[in-house]
Structure 1
Amino acid sequence: MEGGFGSDFGGSGSGKLDPGLIMEQVKVQIAVANAQELLQRMTDKCFRKCIGKPGGSLDNSEQKCIAMCMDRYMDAWNTVSRAYNSRLQRERANL
């Protein structure tokens, strides 16, 4: 029974680690974790902003506030993300 670093991540049955495959798996895990964190932060911020008295259901104004808050949050996140990625690309080009 193999475990830890000796496990077969590559699925080839040879027992050898495939660094490229491992890197891709790590990238996917990081992307999922980032998406979960984004969703959690957006939910927390919009809930605090829009829900005055939690109850059994949302009234129309709360629903509208949450929808607009989430749209604005995603727009802001996308703007910051594009600017950050653009800056990273410029800095990599200057290396």
Structure 2
Amino acid sequence: MSLFPSSSPPQDATARKNALMRTVTEELALTNAQQLMTETCITKPSTSLSSTEQTCLSQCLDRYLDAFNIVRRTYLGRIAQERRDAADQAHVIV
């Protein structure tokens, strides 16, 4: 069975493909962040985390979330600006 049925319009197939690509990209980013945090913070693997490791992981997660929020705000701002620019151009053309 195909992921993109032949009866669906090309736009639908493209949208589904883009959504799948976004999901995979997000999962890869999260996996990379987890790996970096683990390699950085867990220096002596054992059955439990030391207080130093817990603190390090907590701080890494805080920095990751801060960076994520900055990127998110910037991206949403860019989209909003592009929409305003497109609306302005539509008014000029008419």
Structure 1: 5+ residue runs without aligned partners?
none
Runs of 4+ more than 6 Å apart: none
Query: How many angstroms does 1:86 deviate by?
Result: 0.9
**For residue 31 of structure 2, what is the aligned residue in structure 1?**
40
Of 7, 11, 22, the residue aligned with 2:13 is 22
Q: Is the 8 A contact 1:46 1:66 kept in 2?
A: yes
Measured against aligned partners, the alpha-carbon deviations of 1:16-58 in whole angstroms (never above 9, x if no partner) come to: 3322331332232122112212211211221232122233432
Between the aligned partners of 1:54 and 1:28, the Cα distance in structure 2 is 37
Q: Are residue 54 (structure 1) and residue 45 (structure 2) matched?
A: yes
User: If each structure's helix is expressed as a fraction of its own residues, which one has the higher value?
Assistant: 2
Asked if 1:83 is matched to 2:78, the reply is: no
The Cα shift of 1:73 comes to 0.3
Q: How far has the Cα of 1:62 moved from its partner?
A: 0.9
Q: CA RMSD in A?
A: 2.6
The two structures have a TM-score, normalised by structure 1, of: 0.66
Q: CA deviation at 1:8?
A: 8.1
> Which residue of structure 1 aligns with residue 90 of structure 2?
none
Alignment CA distance shift 1:8-1:34 (3 Å): closer
Opposite residue 86 of structure 1, the aligned amino acid is G
Does residue 9 (structure 1) correspond to residue 4 (structure 2)? The answer is: yes
State TM-score, norm by structure 2: 0.66
Q: Please, which runs of 5 or more residues in structure 2 have no aligned partner?
A: 87-94
